[in-house]
Amino acid sequence: MRNLMILAAEAANEATVVNETEQTLLRVFVLIIMFGLGAGLTPKDFALALRRPWGLVIGWITQFGIMPLTAYVLIVTVLLPFSSTEGILLVALGALIMGSVPAGTTSNLFTYFSKGNLALSVTMTVNSTLWAFVMTPAMLFIYSNFLGLDESLSVEFGELALVIFGLIVPVGLGMLVRRLSANVGAVLELIGGVFGLIFIPFLIIIWVPRNWELLMTTEWPTYVVAIGMGLVGITVAYYLAKLIRVHPMNARTISLETGINNGPLAIAVIVAVYIDNPGVDQILLVPALYSLFIVLISTGVTFVFRRANLAAEQKIPNLL
């Protein structure tokens, strides 16, 4: 089984290789995005969040509870039973990684457009990013064992934690710069946001043409997993927040923070950890597709959220 998977991956990889230039660009993108995320924060933001912690608690539960579980359920109910691809476990591994990474800065943008709680959104993003040092390797370890991935696809807890820690360091550096100079921090925050926005066009321009044949031959279960993760995450988190009666503005925020995972981070982790694996492009498949489709999904969700009766919401006490 393992040999068949490697041969299939090598055949696909002949036409689709993540070259060194693309690896470097991906890492630069992620570092700038994470640096900008930190540059938008001050210790006061964390103090405010700690005084009203329920948003962070709910976000942590949904981020590392709903999303990895959603990825696993879609894998075992859709991807594995209905896909005939021999290297499907490589695709499943990529889906698990995508479901286990923290929220991304894109969620902050859509929270703003959907009239959500932007301050809560940014703080939740940083909170889940910092927790990712422990939780992302933990979720991958648990669910990869459930899938029975062999040694060639096993996730080394310590190695993955070290990679994520290296990607989290820029958040702290960004906060330090913001503390030393608010003006410089604001500029860096803007730059990080811009890089977060152009990551998807970058992905379309660089990755899609190089992998067009792979995308055209990708079976429908893979697309269902890539699209379903965001849809399920956003929907389940929203109704969970509504069930516990949080303010509608915060429910929208928690929903978007949960469903919009950090695609650039997932791709950077795969490039760092699995670049020597002959099936790296198949591992990248779901994160790349997720990153492409989550923008479309979030845009549609934002239009739905903006139809809410915002005037009536102003009369509701902010419970977070």
Pick the range with the lowest mean pLDDT from 91-95, 133-137, 193-197. 193-197
pLDDT tens, residue by residue, 64-97? 999 999 999 999 999 999 988 778 899 999 999 9
Q: What pLDDT is attached to residue 13?
A: 39
Q: What pLDDT is attached to residue 93?
A: 93
Q: What pLDDT is attached to residue 201?
A: 75
Confidence band (pLDDT; 50, 70, 90) for 15? very low
Q: What pLDDT is attached to residue 49?
A: 64
Is the pLDDT at 192 greater than 80? The verdict is no
pLDDT, average across residues 21-47:
75
Q: What pLDDT is attached to residue 9?
A: 38
Pick the range with the lowest mean pLDDT from 5-14, 250-259, 301-310. 5-14
Tokens of residue 200, six digits:
């998807």
pLDDT tens, residue by residue, 250-282? 899 999 999 999 888 888 888 888 877 778 888
C-alpha distances in Å from residue 40, one per residue of 36, 71, 73, 287: 6, 30, 35, 26
Provide CB contacts within 8 A for 259, sequence distance 6+.
67, 107, 229, 230, 231, 232, 233, 234, 235, 237, 294, 297, 298, 301
Closest CA to 139 of 39, 37, 66, 242: 66
Percentage, residues of the chain above pLDDT 70: 82
Q: Which residue has the higher pLDDT, 234 or 26?
A: 234
Closest CA to 153 of 96, 194, 71, 228: 96
Confidence band (pLDDT; 50, 70, 90) for 6? very low
Q: Which residue has the higher pLDDT, 134 or 160?
A: 134
Q: What pLDDT is attached to residue 237?
A: 94
Domains of the chain: 2-9+19-303 (1.20.1530.20)
pTM surpassing 0.85?
no
Pick the range with the lowest mean pLDDT from 5-19, 20-34, 71-85. 5-19
Q: What is the mean pLDDT of the chain?
A: 80
Pick the range with the lowest mean pLDDT from 40-44, 111-115, 235-239, 286-290. 40-44
Q: What are phi and psi of 198, to 5 degrees?
A: -85, 0
pLDDT, average across residues 142-146:
90
Beta bridge partners of 103: 261
pLDDT tens, residue by residue, 217-258? 889 999 999 999 999 999 999 999 989 888 888 899 999 999
Q: What pLDDT is attached to residue 139?
A: 93
Please state the length of the chain: 320
Q: What pLDDT is attached to residue 17?
A: 42
69, HSE (Cβ side, Cα atoms, 13 Å): 11
